[in-house]
Amino acid sequence: MICFPVSRDKRVHMAEPLRVCITGAAGQIGYSVLLSVANGDVFGKDQPIVLLLLDIEPMMTALGGVVMELQDCALPLLRDVVATHDPYVSFKDADVAILVGSMPRREGMLRKDLLKANAGIFSTQGKALNEVAKKTVKVLVVGNPANTNCLIALKNAPSIPVANFTCLTRLDHNRAQAQVAARCGVRVDKVHNVIIWGNHSSTQYPDVSHGQLEGGQKISDAVKDDAWLHGDFITTIQKRGAAVIAARKLSSALSAAKAICDHMRDWWFGTQPGQWVSMGVLSTGSHYGIPEGLIYSVPVQISNKTWTVVDGLEISEFSREKMKATADELVEERDAALVFLPSKQ
C-alpha cells in the first residue's frame, strides 16, 4: 500500500474530506478521470478529497507512477492518496466508489467465461463495500458488462441501500445529445431530455421522442427526419463504442471519464428543474413494464442526492419493442451471471 499526504493545509476551514474510491485506477479511464475528481470539478471547489485507488497487484508499480503525477499536479483539494490492491483498504469509509476495473474480454474468450470472471470481481468488491464502506456510499459501476456487474455488487452488499448502486449509461446519453445537437446545428447544452433505455450494450435504446431543444421545440420537429431518428441515429449510438475502438485501437476513455464526472456531479448536486439524465438503476417492476430486478437505464431526476425515475412518459409501440429487446438481453445476462455466485443470490 502506498499512502502519502499530498497537502496538509490546515489554515483554511473546509468540509471534511470526501473519500472517493476509483477502481481500475491504473487503466486508461482511471488516468483520464482522476484530475477532474481531484481538482473539484465533480464534488465542488470547496470539497477536499481523499483518493482511494484500487488496482490489481501487478499494476502497483504503474499505479505508483499515477500517484507521483497526482502529487506533481499540486492540487490544493487533494488531501491524501491511498494506492492499494486490497479492496478492504480502498473501500474503507468510502463516500463514493467508482468501479471501473473489470476483466476485459480477451481474444477467444467465451461470453460465459467473461461473465464468470466479472461475477467474481464484483462479488468480492460488493462484499468489501458491505463490510467497510460508509452505509451512505454512492456506487457507480462502469466496468463492463456494467449493468450486470452493478447488480452483482448490489446483491453482495445487503447493508447498503439498493438506490446507492447505479451503472454508467451517461456516455451513451451524452453521445445521443451530441448527435442531435450536430444534426440541428445547436450547442449541445441546448438539447434536453434524451433517454437511454436498458443495457449499456448494442441493444440499448436511445430515445429522443420526449426530448426538446431549449425553448421547447420537440427534437423530432427540429430534426424533421423520422427515418434518421428511428434508424441511423439509433445505430450510431449503439455502435459508437465499437467505432471508437476501430479508430483508436483503444476503447473510449476521455469521453467515458467526462460521463463519469457528469453522472457523479448530477447525483451529488441534482438535475436542473424539468430536466433528466439517464442512469442504470435497479428496476422495481413498476415503471414502463421493465422487469423487476434488473439494472436498467431509465430517465431520472435527482435532488438531495436521491434519484427518482421519471414516470408517465407515453411509450409508442416502436419504443416498447426496443425497450423489451434490451430488457430481454439483460434478463439473459443476469441469469447467466448469477449462476456463478456461490449462493446463487
Enumerate the active-site residues. Answer: 200
Q: Least separation, in Å, of the C-beta of 170 and ligand NAX?
A: 7
Q: What is the DSSP string of 117-179?
A: HHHHHHHHHHHHHHHHS-TT-EEEE-SSSHHHHHHHHHHT-TTS-GGGEEE--HHHHHHHHHH
Name residue 274's beta-bridge partners.
none
Of 26, 34, 97, 290, which one interacts with ligand NAX (CB under 6 A)? 26
- Asked if 39 interacts with ligand NAX (CB under 6 A), we say no
Question: What track of x and - describes contact with ligand NAX for positions 161 through 180 (by CB under 6 A)?
Answer: -------x--x---------
Of 22, 82, 83, 121, which one interacts with ligand NAX (CB under 6 A)? 121
Closest CA to 37 of 66, 8, 2, 64: 66
In the window 181-220, what residues touch ligand NAX (CB under 6 A)?
200
The one-character DSSP state at 46 is T
Q: Which residue is associated with the grid cell 438481453?
A: 329
Closest CA to 180 of 241, 225, 243: 225
- Asked if 244 interacts with ligand NAX (CB under 6 A), we say no
Of 21, 34, 55, 97, which one interacts with ligand NAX (CB under 6 A)? 55
Question: What track of x and - describes contact with ligand NAX for positions 126 through 145 (by CB under 6 A)?
Answer: ----------------xxx-
Question: Distance of CA 304 to CAs 49, 65, 157, 271, Å?
Answer: 20, 37, 23, 10
Question: What track of x and - describes contact with ligand NAX for positions 266 through 295 (by CB under 6 A)?
Answer: ------------------------------
- Asked if 33 interacts with ligand NAX (CB under 6 A), we say no
The secondary structure element, H or E, covering residue 33 is: helix 28-38
Q: How far apart are CA 240 and CA 255, in angstroms?
A: 11
Q: What is the CA radius of gyration of the chain?
A: 20
Q: Among residues 148 and 212, whose Cβ is nearest to ligand NAX?
A: 148
Q: Which residue is associated with the grid cell 460465459?
A: 112
- Asked if 96 interacts with ligand NAX (CB under 6 A), we say no
Q: How far apart are CA 81 and CA 84, in angstroms?
A: 10
Q: Least separation, in Å, of the C-beta of 240 and ligand NAX?
A: 10
Q: What is the DSSP string of 51-120?
A: EEEE--GGGHHHHHHHHHHHHHT--TTEEEEEEES-HHHHTTT-SEEEE---PPPPTT--HHHHHHHHHH
Strand pairing class (78-84; 18-23): unpaired
Q: Least separation, in Å, of the C-beta of 227 and ligand NAX?
A: 27
- Asked if 101 interacts with ligand NAX (CB under 6 A), we say yes
Of 20, 38, 42, 59, which one interacts with ligand NAX (CB under 6 A)? 59
- Asked if 151 interacts with ligand NAX (CB under 6 A), we say no
CB-based closest residue to ligand NAX: 27
Cα-to-chain-centroid distance, residue 144: 10
Of 18, 19, 23, 288, which one interacts with ligand NAX (CB under 6 A)? 23
The count of residues interacting with ligand NAX (CB under 6 A) is 29
- Asked if 251 interacts with ligand NAX (CB under 6 A), we say yes
Q: Least separation, in Å, of the C-beta of 59 and ligand NAX?
A: 4
Q: Among residues 315 and 336, whose Cβ is nearest to ligand NAX?
A: 336
Name residue 51's beta-bridge partners.
20, 81
Positions that interact with ligand NAX (CB under 6 A) = 23-24, 26-30, 54-56, 59, 100-104, 121, 142-144, 146, 168, 171, 200, 241, 251-253, 256
